[in-house]
Amino acid sequence: MARDAKTETRIIAGLDIGTTKVSCAIGRFENGQLDIIGVGNASNTGMRHGVVVNIDTTSDAIKKAKDEAELMAGVRVEGVWLAVGGQHIQSFASGGMVAVRHKEVQQEDIDRVIEAAKAVAIPQDRQVLHVLPQDFRIDGQLGIYDPIGMAGVRLEASVFIVTGSTSVIQNAIKCTLRAGLRVDGLVLTQLASAMAVLSQDEKNLGVTVVDIGGGTCDMITFLQGSVIHTGLLPVGGQNFTHDVAIGLKTTQNHGETLKRKYGCALPEMVSEDEAIEVESVGGRKPRTLMRRDLCEVVEARAEETLELIHHALDEKGLLTKLGSGVVLTGGGSLLHGLVEMGDFVLDVPVRRGWPEKVGGLVDVVRQPSCSTVVGVLLYGLSQNKEAGTEVKVADWTKRMKNLLGM
């Protein structure tokens, strides 16, 4: 993060390495307002379900996205905050207890009790990404969210710990370093998305954010302002595109175009008489099909995806806790009719979410596909003063550079 000494303007960059594309955003933070000043996107085929499978391809995509964002912003960035997600992510609840040193709870007591809650056995091939406080108890009194200044003898904390595979995260950092960028910090993909699209009221009442990306649906649930669950489903926009290509006997690229332009999860929302032109494969002539044929293909996959989300939430007993329902975000949530189908399948209120808390290039980023990368910027700003996290990642980056001979 760069800082202008005269005006105390801070420049921050965020990076989201997705299954189908890499997004880079550059923001200027000034007078309490984050303005997006540059955004870059590049297609990516070097990832599978959040895991790097081709370092060179992914590095090239990161560099293209970074260059585009820098050109738009008119500034150069050396470091980024990096979104991390995928099937390797695991999370669990933990707790800790300490004695209050000075009869009243102070910040040092909170720091100590969170450290105590972190003191759990974690396999050597995994690392802690986040330790998210849920609530505190003082001398057995429950439901305290801000204990500073309260009198007591014993302080307890409940925390939610998110861990990831060290090797998977190292590979993502390695790709970022090869693209000429330092990693200033890490953030869970769905946590970043939630920061961009949720209000505090939604977090308090209970809400699940489902970030529908190209290869996965990343899920995170809040209740009473705290994270209580994270999860992932290995389905995404690519599955819809593949179904369209197979069902309509066309290419993957044209299937993606048809899905975006004409796709609808509810065929009854489409006119029975509307026709579309579909490219054929193998040099054959294009064909004319009814748009409803396309929508029926999309409908089956949309219903299956929402049923999987419903099952995942129901299995954890979360559906009854979602006072604010479900928020769909990510590029896959743009499918027409998906929110309306979600209301019916999930049986809770469903809305589409996009970044609302930023200024600057709002016309560019106010769309669901930008939720994660904008959320990364918001998270990076919120954590800027927590030097411990930054030092840890910076040391790690230094070690990676040594390994790479950079």
Q: What is the pLDDT of residues 216-235, one digit of tens each?
A: 999 999 999 999 999 999 99
Burial of 145 (0-12, 13-18, 19+ CB in 10 A): exposed
Do 181 and 324 share a structural domain? no
Rounded mean pLDDT of the chain?
Answer: 89
CATH code (residue 203): 3.30.420.40
Is residue 375 scored above 70 in pLDDT? yes
Is residue 396 scored above 80 in pLDDT? no
Do 200 and 186 share a structural domain? no
Q: Which pLDDT band, with edges at 50, 70 and 90, does 1 fall under?
A: low
CB 109 within 8 A of CB 148: no
Burial of 5 (0-12, 13-18, 19+ CB in 10 A): exposed
Query: pLDDT digits over 79-133, tens only?
Result: 999 999 999 999 999 999 999 988 899 999 999 999 999 888 899 999 999 999 9
CATH code (residue 131): 3.30.1490
**Residues found in the chain:** 406
Is residue 5 scored above 90 in pLDDT? no
Query: pLDDT digits over 169-188, tens only?
Result: 999 999 999 999 999 999 99
Q: How confident is the model at residue 394, as a pLDDT?
A: 42
Give the whole-number percent of the chain exceeding pLDDT 70. 93
Looking at residue 151, what DSSP letter applies? B
Q: Which pLDDT band, with edges at 50, 70 and 90, does 405 fall under?
A: very low
Q: How confident is the model at residue 8, as a pLDDT?
A: 63
Do 381 and 281 share a structural domain? no
Q: Which residues of 219-232 are buried (b: 16+ CB within 10 A; e: fewer)?
A: bbbbbeebbbbbbb
Containing domain of residue 7, as a range? Answer: 2-87+167-190+357-404
Q: How confident is the model at residue 313, as a pLDDT?
A: 96
H-assigned helices in 152-207: 166-178, 189-197, 200-205
Nearest to 236 by CA among 338, 161, 330: 330
Read off the pLDDT of each residue in 141-150 and give the average, rounded to a whole number. 87
Is residue 164 scored above 60 in pLDDT? yes
Q: What is the total count of domains within the chain?
A: 4
Q: How many Å apart are CA 141 and CA 399, to the nearest integer? A: 45
Read off the pLDDT of each residue in 283-312 and give the average, rounded to a whole number. 93
| Tokens standing for residue 304 | 């299956």
Do 346 and 204 share a structural domain? yes
Do 243 and 232 share a structural domain? no
Is residue 385 scored above 70 in pLDDT? no
Do 216 and 315 share a structural domain? yes
CB 329 within 8 A of CB 197: yes
**Taking the model in full, what pTM does it have?**
0.88
Q: What is the DSSP string of 36-70?
A: EEEEEEEE--SEETTEES-HHHHHHHHHHHHHHHH
Q: How many Å apart are CA 151 and CA 139, to the nearest integer? A: 9
Q: What is the DSSP string of 303-343?
A: HHHHHHHHHHHHHTT-GGG-TT-EEEESGGGGSBTHHHHHH
Calculated CA dihedral for residues 374, 191, 81, 375, nearest 10 degrees:
10
Q: Which pLDDT band, with edges at 50, 70 and 90, does 406 fall under?
A: very low
Which 3 state secondary structure label does DSSP give 267? helix
Is residue 149 scored above 80 in pLDDT? yes
Q: How confident is the model at residue 324, as a pLDDT?
A: 95
